[in-house]
Amino acid sequence: MLVIAHYMQRGFVFAKPPGFDTDGENQLQELVQKLKESLSLTLVHFYPLAGRLVTQKKAENPSELAIYIDCNKSPGARFILASLDLTMDDILSTTYVPRILRSLFDHERSINYDGHTESLLTIQVTELIDGIFIGCSMNHMVGDGISLWHFLTSWSEIFKAEEKTSVISRPPAHDRLFPRGRHNPFLRLPLIYDHDDQVIINRDEADILPADMIREKIFHFSSETVRKLKAKVNAERNATEISSLQAVSAHLWRCITRARNFPSDRKTSFVMVANARSKSVPPVPEDYFGNYLRAAIATAGCGELLEHGLGWAAWLLHQEVINQTGYGISHEQMESWLQSAILSGSDAPDPSRLLLAGSPRFNVYGIDFGLGIPVAVRTGSADKFDGKMVVSPGVEGGGSMDFEICLLPHIMTSLESDKEFMETVS
């Protein structure tokens, strides 16, 4: 359960179109009005995002509860208009992702449980000196990254329509089906209540590390570099099925492990979050709006990871992905989880772990709000910790990838001093 995890935050940097400055106030008002109108039409399909969370205790057993979305008596999604006296370069041309970026998103310190009183979706439009930043913050209990990009793509589709319409090419599927034979929505969750029957949240658990202690940087892998890494790992394993993402991830795993300089017998792990919609039995629609992910976790000793070749690490990742997504999620597995649900984000961070979110397949640069192709895509400060990585397609396409990597400052410095690594990025 993602009760104490943070909101998902994704934002787009757009350049102001030619002539925007000559009549900027009117053009901004027109843009904002159309964004609001198209957002309202989009929320007709993605109506859970306009709701609020509600917790209901089981009458005969108060230790069991159900958390659901009230879509009928809620104040709706939030829309913010702001301005910032900075240029796009002030945000994009720094060596590391600047802290000012956090001000471009709502819900900076909110956790998902706050969705009982705060909006489940906030859109913040910030006017820069020479650009427009559109930031989206979405409660992770409502949906995963696939659902977030489904919503953003649909919003863009409605915005671009020549006539006002709520028709979209991929309507979301909202059917929240329980496992076969189970009709009870109540779960036993490890939540603690005070004397006023309010949930006690330890926000220190949600804030794994203060954002100021993390150094965050975007590393770009060109399409040529990605092809070379993929060819290398498949040649080393005499294989063809290792993917581009698995090849680049293996390269990152080895380089960051070397930068961390742990003892050779210490275990290190790489977590890849994968879509499980098509792997359930029966399959869940690909357009299902909610959370339906599985984690592929590859583990190795730091020494053996560095001693073996890149292909060995990539094959390890590939096998774990196959183990998690190559087989259906059984009724027994689902029922087992329901009987022993845990709070994601409540465990202590593992300094030898890497976690990869996002996907190079998301339609990141296809998002169009009448301002042209996004100059860049960024995430907010929420849910950042040592070892967190987010991948997205590179702006030039062709299989290129951008990795947003969060590391402790001394580890980032060590990584940037690694010649093998720096020769592969720009």
Domain that holds residue 110: 8-206
Asked whether residue 74 falls in the same domain as residue 217, the answer is: no
pLDDT, tens digit, 9 for 90 and up, residues 215-259: 999 999 999 999 999 999 999 999 999 999 999 999 999 999 999
Residue 146 falls within a domain, yes or no? Answer: yes
- Percent of the chain exceeding pLDDT 90 equals 68
Asked whether residue 187 falls in the same domain as residue 269, the answer is: no
pLDDT of the residue at 114? 93
Q: Please determine, for residue 209, whether its predicted confidence score (pLDDT) is greater than 80.
A: no
Residue 295 falls within a domain, yes or no? Answer: yes
Asked whether residue 168 falls in the same domain as residue 282, the answer is: no
Asked whether residue 414 falls in the same domain as residue 275, the answer is: yes
Q: Please determine, for residue 4, whether its predicted confidence score (pLDDT) is greater than 60.
A: yes
Of the ranges 86-100, 149-163, 209-223, which one carries the lowest mean pLDDT score? 209-223
Mean pLDDT of 190-206: 58
- Percent of the chain exceeding pLDDT 70 equals 84
Asked whether residue 194 falls in the same domain as residue 275, the answer is: no
Among 160, 189, 206, residue at a domain's last position: 206
CATH code assigned at 222: 3.30.559.10
Q: Which residue has the higher pLDDT, 209 or 33?
A: 33
Q: Please determine, for residue 117, whether its predicted confidence score (pLDDT) is greater than 90.
A: yes
Our count of domains for the chain comes to: 2
Q: Active-site residues: which are they?
A: 368
pTM of the model: 0.90
Residue 87 falls within a domain, yes or no? Answer: yes
Q: Which residue has the higher pLDDT, 84 or 274?
A: 84
Asked whether residue 33 falls in the same domain as residue 162, the answer is: yes
Residue 368 falls within a domain, yes or no? Answer: no
Asked whether residue 223 falls in the same domain as residue 184, the answer is: no
Asked whether residue 110 falls in the same domain as residue 127, the answer is: yes
Integer angstrom CA distances of residue 337 from 1, 187, 199, 272, 378: 10, 10, 22, 19, 33
Asked whether residue 312 falls in the same domain as residue 409, the answer is: yes
Of the ranges 181-185, 298-302, 383-387, which one carries the lowest mean pLDDT score? 181-185
pLDDT of the residue at 425? 97
Among 148, 181, 206, residue at a domain's last position: 206
Residue 221 falls within a domain, yes or no? Answer: yes
Among 151, 175, 206, residue at a domain's last position: 206
Token pair of 232, please? 């290398």
pLDDT of the residue at 346? 47
Of the ranges 8-17, 20-29, 390-399, which one carries the lowest mean pLDDT score? 20-29
Give yes or no for a contact between 386 and 209, defined as CB atoms under 8 angstroms apart. Answer: yes
Asked whether residue 182 falls in the same domain as residue 239, the answer is: no
Asked whether residue 270 falls in the same domain as residue 329, the answer is: yes
Asked whether residue 120 falls in the same domain as residue 250, the answer is: no
Q: Please determine, for residue 23, whether its predicted confidence score (pLDDT) is greater than 60.
A: yes
pLDDT, tens digit, 9 for 90 and up, residues 369-416: 999 999 999 999 888 899 999 999 999 999 999 999 999 999 999 999
pLDDT of the residue at 344? 55
